[in-house]
Structure 1
Amino acid sequence: MSTCATLSRELSEPLAATAATATTWLLLEQNGPWGAKALGESHLDAAVGRALEAAAAGTGVRVALIRRPGRHADCLPTARHEVVVAHAVPGRSWVRRGAVADPAELLELDFAALGAGDHGGFGAEHVGGPIALVCTNGRRDRCCALLGRPLAAELAAAGHSEVWEVTHLGGHRFSPTMLVLPYGYAYGRLTAESAKEVLAATAAGQMVPEWSRGRSGWDRPGQAADHAVRVAAGETAVDALTVAQRPAGEGRWLVGVVHEDGRAWEVEVVEGASEPARPESCGKAAGTPSRMDVAAVRQVA
């Protein structure tokens, strides 16, 4: 069976700089089935889902639903909904945990402050290990169900990290995809073995460039520059690099990357189109997805 994921792999489409961008993730537990647009198509009240999405718009906050791995037949409404809020900006990452009886309570949060990294005292600090979020929403793309659900189940059974299924991480054609907190690095085309390697690295404050799609706290040009410098310098410590980008013409950026030891690079990033045409998701018409190509990496200090 041909899928968007198999075709992307066959075309050797790069993983780098394809992560969804979000400074902060607001993750709400919602059991039962999910529709393609899960915030409005689940046991969550559709009006509340739409209001959460509207409240997050333009703030840097990305809202998604989560559930524990396993079978998801129709079920009774969730009595208490666990909530995970995570800020993924390098050097300022944090994860907070809480629970609500009514998801509408989350509309009282200051979304602009959350996006800027101020949790406002929500919940309590997460003190455990890495949190793995595996995209499994087959109603949005069959690859996420066919490849994501078995991965989530195996990782949960292994018991090395906390594992959740999540509604949407973007990049279905890179399935199975996983976002790892607290740092917000996204990964794609994982196997159970590589996913466990990623989680072990995260627990040690490291990332794994080979399967990295980028850190969600940066825009895509910054993700591309981060990846290029990491590969060139052999650097995997998650917070070793800081990134600052500036436009340099249409579809072009100059990105300054600074290492905590004082080294610095200037990276030229150019937006291109992936050829030949391929579907970005199963069932969609073939297109040429945007990609971020690194034109030059210059060490300046």
Structure 2
Amino acid sequence: MTAERFFCADAARARGDALPGTAPYGLVWVLVEYHAPWPANGYDGLALDPVTKSLLYEAARAVRARILLIRRHGRRPEGAGPPRWAVLRYDGTGAHRQQWGTWERDEDLALAAAALGSPGEPGHPPVVLVCAHGRHDTCCALRGRPAARTLAERWPDLVWECTHVGGDRFAANVLVAPDGVYYGGLDAASAVTVVGQHLADRVHAAHLRGYTDLFPAQQAAVAAVLARFGPAGRHAYTVTGTSRAGQHWLIRLTGPSPGATAYDVEVTAHRAPPHQLTCHGPATSAAMVHEVTAIRVG
């Protein structure tokens, strides 16, 4: 008898895996448009000029930037011009910064490496990145591509498919950058609702994995306050205090204006039972879960 095929996103939804507190930390992203098949390990697996490839890799590592391959959903139209690269930089003031360019030869990507040393320009609309990296994880393709298609139909200039962003079991995953917001557990319909609300500067707790400038316990605290008191802008809440005793955290949030109310959020971290967390990795792993146990209005 053939064993039933395992899908990590189906298993995570059946278990009720918690989304809040699962966004990888990050403030800078490098995007490289690449329309040939993506290697399972993304940029690392590209057969590029080794000098240029290493130059961009080392420049990204120096500022803890993540390199993602991107492409538009569907076939690339003829006459679309040379592929693009971008450096996206989170700014805590909300004036998120971007720099874009094009590349035709491998050596042109040295410009992206150089851009990592400059602040970039504010005022660009955010980029909506949908993980559709099927060679890395089956669920990213099965769930990511339908979401990418629907989003691209609605916002064709903002939406790109991208390589692995982390958290395969939460597919479809969407990263809005350089805003630094991760959403997960999406489908075609919910993706349009969530992204539409995000673009209107209304972040909802539903489907929110976290803000990438915060650590997991802080992400969980923000999500819990949004769930209780309603959606708010990306920068409506500020973490003004964080203390820890073992696996117990106390996070103080302030906001939103004009009242600037203070909230003390208690968070407990624990390991979930071991499970297979990706489609292609049969080994089990115990994910860390951050559970909010109390919210007090200060």
TM-score, with length taken from structure 1: 0.85
Read off the aligned partner of 2:153 and give its amino acid letter.
Answer: A
User: How far apart, CA to CA, are the structure 2 residues paired with 1:234 and 1:68?
Assistant: 33
Structure 1 residues 133 and 46: alpha-carbon distance in aligned structure 2, compared to 1, 3 A threshold? farther
Q: Runs of 4 or more off by more than 6 Å in structure 1?
A: none
Structure 1 residues 156 and 240: alpha-carbon distance in aligned structure 2, compared to 1, 3 A threshold? same
Aligned residue for 1:274? 272
User: How far apart, CA to CA, are the structure 2 residues paired with 1:70 and 1:42?
Assistant: 21
- Is the partner of 1:5 in helix, strand or coil? helix
Deviation at 1:216, TM superposition (A): 1.3
TM-score, with length taken from structure 2: 0.85
* 1:201-255 deviation per Cα after TM superposition (whole angstroms, max 9, x unaligned): 1221111211111111212121111111112222422221011453413333321
1:68 to 66, 72, 76: 72
Task: Single out whichever of 235-244 and 151-160 deviates more from structure 2.
Answer: 151-160
Deviation at 1:125, TM superposition (A): 4.2
User: How far apart, CA to CA, are the structure 2 residues paired with 1:81 and 1:164?
Assistant: 13
* 1:21-45 deviation per Cα after TM superposition (whole angstroms, max 9, x unaligned): 1022222222211112111213544
- RMSD (Å) for aligned C-alpha atoms: 2.4
User: How far apart, CA to CA, are the structure 2 residues paired with 1:278 and 1:6?
Assistant: 13
Read off the aligned partner of 1:148 and give its amino acid letter.
Answer: G
| Residue 6 of structure 2 is aligned to residue 2 of structure 1 | yes
Deviation at 1:282, TM superposition (A): 1.2
Aligned residue for 1:294? 292
Read off the aligned partner of 2:275 and give its amino acid letter.
Answer: R
Structure 1 residues 202 and 160: alpha-carbon distance in aligned structure 2, compared to 1, 3 A threshold? farther
User: How far apart, CA to CA, are the structure 1 residues paired with 2:18 and 2:52?
Assistant: 37
1:256 to 252, 256, 261: 252
Deviation at 1:65, TM superposition (A): 1.6
Deviation at 1:153, TM superposition (A): 1.9
Structure 1 residues 161 and 106: alpha-carbon distance in aligned structure 2, compared to 1, 3 A threshold? closer
Quick one: percent identity of the two aligned structures? 31
- Is the partner of 1:179 in helix, strand or coil? strand
Structure 1 residues 200 and 79: alpha-carbon distance in aligned structure 2, compared to 1, 3 A threshold? closer
Aligned residue for 2:96? 94
Aligned residue for 2:235? 239
User: How far apart, CA to CA, are the structure 2 residues paired with 1:262 and 1:189?
Assistant: 31
Task: Single out whichever of 185-194 and 237-246 deviates more from structure 2.
Answer: 237-246
Corresponding residue pairs, total: 284
Structure 1 residues 207 and 160: alpha-carbon distance in aligned structure 2, compared to 1, 3 A threshold? farther
2:138 to 133, 137, 142: 142
Read off the aligned partner of 1:291 and give its amino acid letter.
Answer: V
* 1:127-171 deviation per Cα after TM superposition (whole angstroms, max 9, x unaligned): 44x421000111111111111122212221334662101112100
Aligned residue for 1:215? 211
Structure 2: give runs of 5+ residues left out of the alignment: none
